Structure 1
């Protein structure tokens, strides 16, 4: 009316649909979403739509009719199933909004029930129990680390996906000393806290004496046949070699060990399992004072003397200069034994070492042989990594090695990675890098950088994101440039605000939302006195990965900083 008064009437049209769809249905990711309607006649032609697209039956979309009742089921729904579901019977229709809620994923929970059995010769058995409420559907891995008392650095010494125990022997320790241990659990969503085992144990490398038996054992998680090798030569049961298997436990005994077998590699191989150890054979008991010692570069140097009293004080000298405990050099006292341990031999460590008491001394001549290089270790990262990347961006996985000439192999989900048009394997000095160009969601997975003596895991997840906010623009072109129109959202007239702009450009009328959110989804109507056009807007995802679908427009213009693509009659950004 000219004076601004108005009159409103509500019109209800009875249709053929007796039981309508719910206005909104929320289900969790991975569940089934079911819709049910009832019509007044048995033999009616009906159709189901989602976001304006007609649905057809597939293995994940079930369409059933039972007389007057019609059912739609989405099986094992995912995030992309969110949207507007519409049922049409003749000229009648009913709609429901389906919202699929994502399951929240959390990092793993700390293992519990840790126990430490130290009543073993030169070894320790560590056991633990997975957290009772930990997730079983997500692949996780237990990681055991060791730390020498007095050091701040933790070193990884055992990893397993299924085992809940680990036996650590003194032969696997780089130098003799007192050690503590801890365990944690990691999966693709993160790492749990560490649980430290309650005791400290003394471990060190031990050698078998010439002529004695050398015994090797390994226990598997399941019973299977295995093979033993000595320096790549397969061993057979009989003579000096005794090979036995008791269910999951395998053992090898070498009788009458020879000095020629010193530093030989003992390897056990089964289906998917490979483990190695080094056989150490001493020619004879060491004298109280071994005056000439040669070691390879990178190996530990251990010099020791036996004193007559456990409380005797000694001094260690190198080339006449007294030694002090530093990083890489430990001075130890154990009963009547006095030792110095140099963790990694270098040429500069060659010289004459002397263990001196108030009334006696014992000189050593030590030299470092650099003909044999030590195993290549991974300096950085020290721990396994959990990383995130974004679709279409480059992803870089990098390791720093202990030597510039070290060789590595890269694996993804257990398969070796080879260089291709989308994957680059780069070697720069001590750095080894795997670069994924223009990554996709399929590049997610577990990557391993492996050397001959070390390895590190990268858990990579690649997700999508947009570069800026999504701008939603709805456009109508009318026949008279001066005609008046009104915009409605879900039946209510809209008003201009800072995030909703109504534009007039000649015969064009636009509704613009500069920063689209999920609250902007709904049914928009551009209405004149004689005509109207409807836009069905669906908004899914978060701000970092948003998807906007507009169905059944007459004229649509999408303005966004992200990529636009066309699929049938829907425009997607």
Structure 2
């Protein structure tokens, strides 16, 4: 029993320095509590109104060996209560009482002075009251009143400054003005202290919106503007040189707003100082001009290698990466200049030159160059190709033996070459063949036509299909065909007459491609799908009479029949022929 009582006594005596029975602090101050225990390894805890306290921004808990401290920061009235410290089985308590502070309005400033020995302004100074409370935030308020008026206007406020310079640009009109100052905090306002003198102030201009620096890329326009408090005339300067409206400079004014536009800036104007000056107003800003990094877009092969006919326009164009890029055009190393027949154009990112009418001297290498890139054009000016003006289509002609045959073409230009071909072989002049060239006309004349002169004559892309027939002999027709059936047809004198068809001396027999038909007096041979192998002399034999057809099948051209599609050669069997 004695041991247990002694242990209890020891536990109760572990707190060496106890809390005060009562602690009173003012609202807004810090409440501090300190205890000391016998051993520095004791487990301790702080409580307020039975709730355990933890470290926060308002509650500070510190331990220094055997000493333990609690600080409640910036106490408020609701922080009043019982604070308890517990160490083991021992504890000590203190009642915290927070007293409300007395809310007093601020005290008037003192030592007010006015200095009016300066143009169109007054310097006002004052001092805070010596016994002004420092725990509450206060603001000094300066007010003005035009002499003769009853109304005071606020013109300056500050929490720390004890002086202010009032200029003419802060007053609305010309007049004499008085001033007073007071002090304000959250609990009220002090009395006003009026300055002893009055000062005459004249309103003047001031800057409402200052100049701002401008940064552009070479070739772009630079814009500057400034706004004043009153309308007035101003002057612009660039590096101390006065600017005038016109050319690259656009100067405008609209009431209190002044503006300057520098068009098509260049890199030499980089870091230039732009200054605006008006009556009593001056402001400056810096112009920054960055060089434009210009590149050409790639050209297609068709654009970079131009082939132009004489007399046609030459148009060379390219695209740059910046719309304000400056370029120069060269031909064979020589810079090009504007002339009557040459235009140099710029449209957005497009750069072009136009030569109205090309001639041989315009052939060469053209280049478009910037400070950082080059693009090249190869131009070849040549004669346009010779075209056949007339005839536009192939011609089918019929002639008779011994007659002259005239073939003629009209060309687009007199300088065209003369080359005629017959059945694929070039025609040469002879005693019976004339090749004539007169200006744009090309003629081939056969003086005494024969059956052998029939065939296909070609000049460039035009064919003349010629058939030669006897005047008083059996009809011999030459037929050219490609892709359409060939029909050979005769008329006999009696319906019972028998005929045979021959090709180059061999009898023609019916097949899937050849049909031989009779229709009354009509005898007909039809080749449904002719080929060049079907060319030759076809003979219709009626025993006592015959008739020949000269047929040539061309695989390249449409059907050309010398007698027309509706021609039907006929023959009558002589009286002595076999029936």
Alignment TM class, shorter chain as reference: 0.3 to 0.5
TM-score by structure 2 length? 0.33
Q: Normalising by structure 1, what TM-score?
A: 0.33
Q: RCO higher in 1 or 2 (8 Å CA, sep ≥ 6)? A: 1
Flag the structure with larger Rg: 2
